[in-house]
Structure 1
Amino acid sequence: MSRYARQEILPEVGTAGQSRLRRAHVAVIGAGGLGCPVLQYLVGAGVGRITLYDPDHVEESNLHRQPLYRMADITRPKAEAAAEALRRFNPEVQVSAHVAALHPGNAPALAQAADVVIDAADSFAVSYTLSDACRDAGTPLISASVLGQSGYAGGFCGPAPSLRAVFPELPATAATCASAGVFGPAVGLLGSLQAQLALQVLLGIGTPLGSLVTLDLSSLRFGGFSFLGTPEPQAIWPFLCPEMLRPEDLVIELRDPEEAPRPIAPPARRLPPEEIGSLAPGPGQRVVLCCATGLRAWRAATQLQAGGVDTIALMAAKACA
């Protein structure tokens, strides 16, 4: 009996499918509540190569929903602790751990190199950055989001519409698990679903791309829909990191000095969000709006667009750290 016997016996898998998984390369962004079940099930399934990005360190508050970690891992980089645990679990799988954030500068190369990208980062700026990179590379993206007892998981990009096509507008708030709370089983279910969707993409079974599954455990309801054929937005505001700025850009720092003593980039001009309507860029000049998460920048961009400014980009400082 081999490690994968219960999986290989499935007619959708077989020895040929198991060989496909062994040759596959999956990039996983985030080793938190979603990333832990994703990583455990992909490594358990025998996916041959996993590239993991996560800049954070293990905290005691993570342990109720991130079962890869133990008390002894507290203060360790999540990427390194996760990779160590996964190698013990299945030494056949190659896990490359990067204690670093996913940002607009490194996302394109990552999307080009992977067979599937999994967004488990709990940051809409990272989600949109990954969606843009995967759309351009033609790489499938499995993305999920969860707060409290509800959330979704879906398959985007590749031959399917991007995340921006399905969610063209940002949420009203930038709530995260840290600020709004989450049940461990809810995030575990959605992370497991992401792993299932990724395996289906790698094996070429089912219709994971162009489908979205919703979950509301407070009422014990599952739902979902197909979004195949959804049009892409005609214009998008890309997320940038500081090294992607041009000398002629008009960079606006929306954070006040107390929140950000130093602007994200030296040429940045501070401007409170409520004064964004007074901005007067030169003809064709790109306006780059910066805040912590990207939410204030997105709202400011909406105002500028309504005033006739067409060339806009965003920076989320937390996603560029």
Structure 2
Amino acid sequence: MSSFTDDELDRYARQLVLPQFGGLGQQRLKSARVAVVGAGGIGSAVIPALAGAGVGALTIIDGDRVELANLHRQPLYRSAEIGMAKARPASDWVLARNPHVAVNAVAERIDPANAAGLLAEHDLVIDGTDNFATRLLVSDTAVALGLPLLSAAAQQFQGQVAIFTGRPCYRCFVGDAFDADDCDNCAELGVLGATVGSVGAYAALIAIRALAGMADDRGTLHLFDAAALEWRRIRLLADPACKSCSSEAA
């Protein structure tokens, strides 16, 4: 425990007493660097949970601005912050609640030119974006960099969460048909705010389990049906012809 300050020992006391977590798990979180791509609905649940748990460094990447229609599912933001770049108030929220977390706010959209530079040197990438083109870009970049990727999404009353390390990858799951920018997202299909929050909190739990060395959830897709209040799991298989993670791609 010598690596923790008195403030940290008090702050994380309820986690430190957990036998499955303890000081080793807390130290692993403190040493972790996590990139969160998308500070929207999923990010609004993931970012506070990871900051509160004591992840050492967070990079928040989002080029969008706060809109009134965001607020029902993005509790990181206030009405007074409408029009602001999301990465800024999101990082301010973290710093105001846990000064032990180093935060890097990146108020720009991730794209093929900057993706590798933004994601490199992290221990985990969490994707909470709302379109397939960006998700596939983030996945392909994580595969190329050898980084684990936790992908989470929600729309209407449905949600999905999965963590990928190498094979299978996210592209194995969705295929190559969704690289276009105009695929459906929650702006067209709608979403219940509490559904997004539930999926985001679940994603944060999987992230903490992975970072703390508590469990290996790789390759399992977790599906949430908010209307039925049911979770189910599906084992994902690698696509032998995947253009991102297959031996041919390598």
TM-score, normalised with respect to structure 1: 0.69
Measure, in 1, the Cα distance between the counterparts of 2:123 and 2:159: 25
Could you tell which deviates more after superposition, 96-105 or 215-224? 215-224
Say which SS state the counterpart of residue 10 (structure 2) adopts.
Answer: coil
> In the alignment, which residue of structure 1 is the partner of 2:4?
none
> In the alignment, which residue of structure 1 is the partner of 2:199?
190
State the shift of 1:149 in Å.
Answer: 0.6
Q: Deviations over 1:234-269 (max 9, x none)?
A: 436xxxxxxxxxxxxxxxxxxxxxxxxxxxxxxxxx
CA root-mean-square deviation:
1.7
Find the structure with the greater CA-based Rg: 1
> In the alignment, which residue of structure 2 is the partner of 1:121?
129
> In the alignment, which residue of structure 2 is the partner of 1:207?
216
The question of 1:168 aligning with 2:154 is answered no
State the shift of 1:175 in Å.
Answer: 1.4
The question of 1:67 aligning with 2:113 is answered no
> In the alignment, which residue of structure 2 is the partner of 1:13?
21
Measure, in 2, the Cα distance between the counterparts of 1:80 and 1:44: 18
Q: 2:186 aligns with which of 169, 172, 177?
A: 177
Contact 1:134 1:140 (C-alpha < 8 Å) held by counterparts: yes
Say which SS state the counterpart of residue 2 (structure 1) adopts.
Answer: helix
> How many corresponding residue pairs?
234
State the shift of 1:110 in Å.
Answer: 3.1
Unaligned runs of 5+ in 2: 1-8, 245-250
Percent of residue pairs bearing the same amino acid type:
39
AA of the residue aligned to 1:211: T
Measure, in 2, the Cα distance between the counterparts of 1:96 and 1:110: 10
Unaligned runs of 5+ in 1: 237-321
State the shift of 1:169 in Å.
Answer: 4.4
Relative contact order: is structure 1 or structure 2 higher (C-alpha 8 Å, sep ≥ 6)?
Answer: 2
AA of the residue aligned to 1:105: A
Q: Deviations over 1:145-202 (max 9, x none)?
A: 21101020100134x4110112214369821111111000110011111111111111
> In the alignment, which residue of structure 2 is the partner of 1:226?
235
Pair 1:133–1:6, CA change in 2 (3 A): same
TM-score, normalised with respect to structure 2: 0.88
Contact 1:153 1:212 (C-alpha < 8 Å) held by counterparts: yes
AA of the residue aligned to 1:212: L
Q: 1:152 aligns with which of 151, 156, 160?
A: 160
AA of the residue aligned to 1:56: D
